[in-house]
Amino acid sequence: MSSDGVSRREFVTVATGAAVGAMVAGQAPAAAQGGKRRYAIVGTGVRAIGMWGRPILRDYGDIVDLVGLCDINPLRVEVAKRQMGATCPTFTNFDDMLAKARPDLLMVTTVDAFHSQYLVRAMERGIDVMTEKPMVIDESQCKAVLEAEKKTGRKIVVTHNYRYAPKHQKIKELLMGGEIGRITSVDFNWFLDTSHGADYFRRWHRLRAKGGSLWVHKASHHFDLVNWWLDAEPTQVSAFGSLANYGKAGPFRHTNCRPCPHKKECSFYWDINRSKSLVELYNNCESADGYQRDGCVFKDDVDIFDTMNAVVKYSTGVNMSYSVNTFMPIEGYYLAFNGTQGRLEIRDYERQAWDPGEETTMHVIKSFGKRMKIDLPTATEGHGGGDQVLRDLIFRKTDAAAHMRLPDSRAGALSCLTGIAARKSCDTGRPVKIDELLKLS
């Protein structure tokens, strides 16, 4: 039994794919009235194409119609349409898309800083919304989004896909099952390697104004997992951060990799021309907005941290020590839950320079007892298998366990507010309470 009184054997009905908007909106879906759900996307980069557009057209065409694609880059929206294999109209003006395409569900996959304005504008027009994480990048955006949801009666789904990786569900089930007793603390260290970690510093993510820093853009994934695993809400964060490797800390710099005079000596040199689809989506669209996908990781304008440590306090009295390092020789995480009756230890080997044999190892170590290895399903698809599970839950499945319900705006808010508090704590050198940022009712 979890602390909110939901047993994992208790099931709720989660709307079918066609009905997800209805679940979100509390009204009869188009499919229930005999039609398909009308679905539109704003922000047509790699995530929109790979996670939403292409799979929707491939797997859910019987229940969902993709009716519009919108991006501020007029060239990219056309490339995205082609890469998805879509036939719907494209737009560079969001309001125009809402008026002409008449979606009843909007997916927001823009640069993080712009999620909130599209969520608010769509809800104000009576449209249900789903957004990629992070829902928002600061507390004022968070307030605006929550107020708009309340005022309009629409609902938000935040697509926190990490929850849906089978290994993460296994952790949830073990904790709900009381395997290690009452949880007292969490140790969580996330490692981004010299490939994945560096990529954040090449792109818009390197600017706080675009992604809110990795405290928000990246760590909100992890903070959401912990809130969900613990069935708890964060109350206070103390954090430190530094820029130790990228940006000004680098030995030299240029605008971006393609024309760089330091190609030969730079370990972070990355050749975007090796990917035909990225060349089409970014290089060939640069003339419209000047955005360089292969930006220099050592650019002077990097204003986020690459090395981050925090302690987070939760409503249940649990404390978590957490870190993210972004230029590691390993990718993955160490995670442990300490409890009154033992410890749950997880080592995730997402990508290593050696063959770890297994992608993830998980053990329950009982106090005064034995160490038990937990069997895990192998997942090959995106984000530990979470992406596919999430899409199926949204668009297809009829039933799911209560703890598998789609994350709502409160989950979206709390995961972001933890990161926003961490960022503020780094900036001010003091602990930051969540409710000094925003009081959630």
Using the Cα atoms of residue 391, residue 227, residue 190 and residue 179 in order, give the sign of their dihedral. negative
Q: Which two tokens stand for residue 338?
A: 């300490």
Among 2, 16, 73, 388, binds ligand NAD (CB under 6 A): 73
User: Interface with ligand NAD includes 132 (CB under 6 A)?
Assistant: yes
- Binding residues among 76-105 for ligand NAD as defined by CB under 6 A: 76
Among 20, 25, 40, 72, binds ligand NAD (CB under 6 A): 72
Q: Are 191 and 333 in contact (CB under 8 A)?
A: yes
Q: Which is nearer to ligand NAD, 183 or 335 (CB)?
A: 335
User: Interface with ligand NAD includes 44 (CB under 6 A)?
Assistant: yes
Full 3-state SS string of 308-327: EEEEEEECCCCEEEEEEEEE
At 21 the three-state DSSP class reads helix
At 250 the three-state DSSP class reads coil
Residue 359 neighbours by CB distance under 10 Å: 18
Among 42, 88, 98, 308, binds ligand NAD (CB under 6 A): 42
Among 6, 8, 27, 46, binds ligand NAD (CB under 6 A): 46
136 vs 415: CA distance, rounded Å: 10
- Binding residues among 154-173 for ligand NAD as defined by CB under 6 A: 161
With CB under 6 A, what is the number of residues at the site for ligand NAD? 21
User: Interface with ligand NAD includes 324 (CB under 6 A)?
Assistant: no
Q: Which residues contact 290 (CB under 8 A, 6 or more apart)?
A: none
342 vs 345: CA distance, rounded Å: 10
Among 8, 47, 143, 347, binds ligand NAD (CB under 6 A): 47
Query: In whole angstroms, how close is the CB of 177 to ligand NAD at the nearest point?
Result: 27
Among 111, 171, 330, 417, binds ligand NAD (CB under 6 A): 111
Among 36, 37, 38, 133, binds ligand NAD (CB under 6 A): 133
Q: What is the helix (H) or strand (E) element at residue 100, kind and residue range?
A: helix 94-101
- Report which residue type is found at 133: K
Query: In whole angstroms, how close is the CB of 300 to ligand NAD at the nearest point?
Result: 21
Residue nearest to ligand NAD as judged by C-beta position? 45
Interacting stretch for ligand NAD, rule CB under 6 A, among 18-26, 65-73, 229-237, 304-312?
A: 65-73
Q: How many CA atoms lie within 13 A of 200 on its CB side?
A: 32
Q: Are 193 and 348 in contact (CB under 8 A)?
A: no
Query: Which residues are at the interface with ligand NAD (CB under 6 A)?
Result: 42-48, 71-73, 76, 109-112, 114, 132-133, 161, 217, 383
